[in-house]
Structures are given as C-alpha cells and as structure tokens.
Amino acid sequence: MDYTLSEWIQLAGSGSMARAAVSAQARESGMEEAAVRDAMRRHLHCMQEAARSGLDEHLRSVSGLTGGQAAMFLKRLQEGRLLCGNLLGRAEVYALATAECNACMGKIVAAPTAGACGILPGAVLAMMEERGATEDDAVDALFTAAAVGQAIASQASISGAEGGCQAECGAAAAMAAAALTAMEGGTARQCADAAAFALMNLLGLVCDPAGGLVEVPCVYRNVGASGVAFTAADMALSGIACPIAPDEVILAMKEVGDALPASLRETGEGGCAACPSIRARLHMNTL
Ligand code: SF4
C-alpha cells in the first residue's frame, strides 16, 4: 500500500481520507474494517496512557536531561496562563509528556517515530478534551494521519538518520495537521494542503540529538512542531490552498535531506549536539 497524497485524494473521492485508509488497510491485511478500526483504537488508548504517564512530576530520564517538565507545563495550562490558549496549550503539554515518556523508556506509539511521538497524540487528544471530539473522530483522524505518514515514508523518509528531523518531527507535524483538518471537517484535499504547509514550515530541520540520546532537542521539538501543525491546519481550513503540489513538498523534503551533511543526520556531532553547555552537562551526568 504505497500511495502519494494525490492518490489518497483520488481514493477518497467525495469521502474522507480516513475512509480510504481504512479500506486500503482492510484490503491489504485481509482483516475486516471493524478489526482494522479496533487496532487503531488500541493505538489511541496507548497514546492516552503515554501522555498520562509522561505528566508525572517525578519522572526522570536515565541521563537526567529530561523528565518532569511536562508537569511544569501542565501547571501553567491549568492556571490559564499559557500564551497560546487551551487547545494548542493542551496539545503541546501532551506532546511534551509523550516525548518525555519515550525519553524515560515508557511505552509510546511511534507516530511516525519514537523521537517524534508526541505531536500527533497531542493534537488528537487535545481535540477530544478541548473541542469534544469523540473517540471515533479520533480514530478517523489517526487514519488520516496514517495515510499522510505513508505518503511521506514511501516518497521520502521518516528517519532522522536519513533525512534529518524534518523527516521525523516534520512528518509528524504533517500527519497531525492533516488529522486536525479532518477533525474540523476539512476535505481530503485540505488535509493534504495542511500536511504540505506543516512540512514546508519544517523543511531543513536537522537531526542533532545531544549525546545521541532522543531527548535534547527532541522533546522540545515535539512541542514546537505541534504549533506548526495547528497553524498549518488553520491555513488549510481557511481555504488557503498550498501553492506547491503537496507531493512535491514531500519530494523537496527528500532532496533537502539528501543534501544534509552527516553531522546533521543523527550522528550527534553537529547542531544542538555540538553545543558546549549540553556536552558539559552530559559529561557531568555520566561521571
Ligand atoms: S533531532 Fe533527530 S533523534 Fe531527535 S526527534 Fe529529531 S530526528 Fe529524532
């Protein structure tokens, strides 16, 4: 099952991208559509549990670099003091919580990867809690996201080592943008446009994990990319069409990824990973 975004739009026809993705998955797996949806529902429940466990204020990663920060973020949300408001704020809190859960070896859904695991759940769970989206709406949104993720993986990459963080957090933001657009009643074309806007805004993002650990800057990028996803969805839902064919943005991402030097593709040698303060902190923590 390898489809481009334009093929997903065609498959959706006058229906939704989610509906097309469920049918395609059922065809490919030989499972009933209801069973395919149940499997996705289990992923949603796993996402909810990961976000919940990442909110533990006592959580700490083995390196000591991350953990407990989502709880700090949640406190400010609960006080009504986040500048970005409750919907995006909650999405960002859950994105950070999920990413911290991953950094602390908890169970997450790689959507599309462990490093970028917070962006999609944050968006979908926030829509359920803040906008009254149902569990069925959320499952549909995850199928929309899955279609977008598949289109990116098959035409470019979802690996930071291969294409930089644009391929991980960029792809996750594209998936979340499409999911949000679908949850707000957008068409399949608008979902593709939202995905393209998100990817466009994160094009060139390098993969530079300090110490080779999926913590810094990874957990914070999950938060920032959440904001990109909401912005991209809002543009698409406003009727703004992406001026570049969405699949071409994916191909541009691949071209940029191929041009990145090895030091910026998960080797931990460049970018944030090369900054003296984080290197010193990692050295101290391992003494
Ligand atoms: S910086 Fe690299 S390891 Fe970290 S989330 Fe991005 S792609 Fe993954």
- Taking only the tens place, the pLDDT of each residue in 6-41 is 999 999 999 999 999 999 999 999 999 999 999 999
213 CB-contact burial (10 Å; exposed 0-12 / middle 13-18 / buried 19+): middle
**Residue nearest atom 3 of ligand 1, based on CA coordinates:** 214
Read off the pTM: 0.98
**Residue nearest atom 6 of ligand 1, based on CA coordinates:** 165
Distance from the CA of 257 to the center of ligand 1, in angstroms?
A: 13
How long a stretch of residues is the chain?
287
Q: For 95-148, how does the pLDDT look when each residue is reduced to its tens digit (9 = 90+)?
A: 999 999 999 999 999 999 999 999 999 999 999 999 999 999 999 999 999 999
Q: List Cβ neighbours of 169 (8 Å cut-off, separation of 6 or more).
A: 115, 116, 119, 202, 205, 218, 221, 222, 224, 225
Q: How many angstroms separate the CA atoms of 172 and 51, rounded?
A: 16
Hey, what domains does the chain have and what are their CATH numbers? 5-286 (1.10.4100)
The three-state secondary structure class of 207 is strand
